[in-house]
Chains A and B, each alone.
Chain A
């Protein structure tokens, strides 16, 4: 049996890292929304009336996008949402640091409980890089195409009859570089 292609493995690892991080981050915030609301309020950026709404919605958007990345569904748009969230978090932390706020990050719920600092910016930068890489790698190649690609590379070389058969079986259609997400 052939080993899976390198690109397939890399995409799997990227999806696990990026999607897993966001699902965990979202779940920890949902577990204690009041604490997350307090964290949001400590940044002093959101109008007071909207603090709860932000604390309610952001974790669910994180979980939705993270789950899709993990599952490999709508990979590119999900990575885009994650990258956007990461840019927003980065800007918020930079703004808090610039204003000299000594507050907890609230990034991963109560885990760590450390005050914001360069470590948080480094984590955000890494996640942004990985999400961008994932979005780029999935360009014209959503997860199911990656699976197809892996399947095509692991199967025996096509015979004359096999291309016809694969054309009728969507699951075996080989990846074509110009494929779009549709």
Chain B
């Protein structure tokens, strides 16, 4: 007798095929369904950096959400006023808290700290993957904002 009878292998294949069928059907009827083919990534140079003055205007007009891509401890130690914390390193864990406030078209200003910091770039990638298009990176955001004396929330406050 063979280790895996042909019947077992056929049934295993049937299970996989049933799973595929159920997946396609479930995705079709689910309000959270995804497009079967992942939308292409925009070219990397399409990332739009935003100058501090523009970010300041957006902040004062209330036309954009500011997202702090740093870790929660850094955010808690001080952040741009009214900014929300969406850590790039644990995006999936925190996105659910932020998602209800946003639409795919929301204007989002992403920042971290330091000229070499790539957290806002990583956050941009994660958000683009989910279909968010209106993304702006404020380079060296926290330091630049703080040094310009713009509105911020000091450590210990939300």
Interface residues of A (CB under 8 A from B): 30, 32-35, 37-39, 41, 48-53, 55-65, 68, 74, 76-78, 80-81, 84, 102, 104, 106, 110, 113, 180-182
A81 neighbours in B (Cβ, 8 Å): 12, 15-16
| SS of B interface (majority) | helix
The 7 closest A-B pairs by CB, nearest first: A61-B19, A60-B23, A113-B93, A77-B11, A77-B12, A64-B19, A57-B23
CB of A34 to closest CB in B, whole Å: 5
A59 and B23: CB pair below 8 A? yes
Q: Which residue of B lies closest to A74 (CB)?
A: B11
Q: Does B43 contact A (CB under 8 A)?
A: no
Q: How many residues of B contact A (CB 8 A)?
A: 39
- Chain A residues with Cβ below 8 Å from B4 are 80
Residues of A within 8 Å of B27, CB to CB, are: 33, 56
B8-39: CB near A (< 8 Å → 1, else 0) gives 11111011101110111011001011111110
Max chain B Cβ within 10 angstroms of own Cβ: one of A32, A56, A62, A74: A56
If over half of A's interface residues share one DSSP class (helix, strand or loop), that class is named, otherwise mixed; here it is helix
Which chain B residues lie closer than 8 Å to A35 at the CB level?
92, 95-96
Given A56-B24, A57-B23, answer yes or no on A102-B89 (Cβ-Cβ < 8 Å): yes
Tell me if B23 and A38 are in contact (CB < 8 A): no
Decide yes or no: A32 and B19 within 8 Å by CB, A81-B12, A106-B92 being known contacts.
Answer: no
CA distance A159 to B90 in the complex (A): 66
| A68-B33 in contact given A38-B92, A77-B8, A80-B8 (Cβ < 8 Å) | no
**Residue from the set B8, B35, B89, B91 with the largest chain A CB neighbour count within 10 Å:** B8
The reply to whether A64 and B18 form a contact with Cβ atoms under 8 Å apart is yes
Report B116 CB to chain A, min CB distance, Å.
17
A37 with B34: CB separation less than 8 A: yes
Residue of B nearest to A84 (CB): B12
Cβ–Cβ contact B8 & A52, under 8 A: no
Report how far A32 CA is from B100 CA in the complex, Å: 14
For A61, what are the chain B residues with a Cβ–Cβ distance below 8 Å? Answer: 15-16, 19-20, 23
Please, could you name 7 A-B residue pairs with CB atoms under 8 Å apart, sorted by A? Answer: A33-B27, A35-B95, A52-B36, A61-B16, A61-B19, A64-B18, A180-B7
- Best-buried of B32, B34, B38 by chain A (most CB within 10 Å): B38
A104 engages B32 (CB within 8 Å):
no
Chain A residues within 8 Å of B32, by CB = 32-34
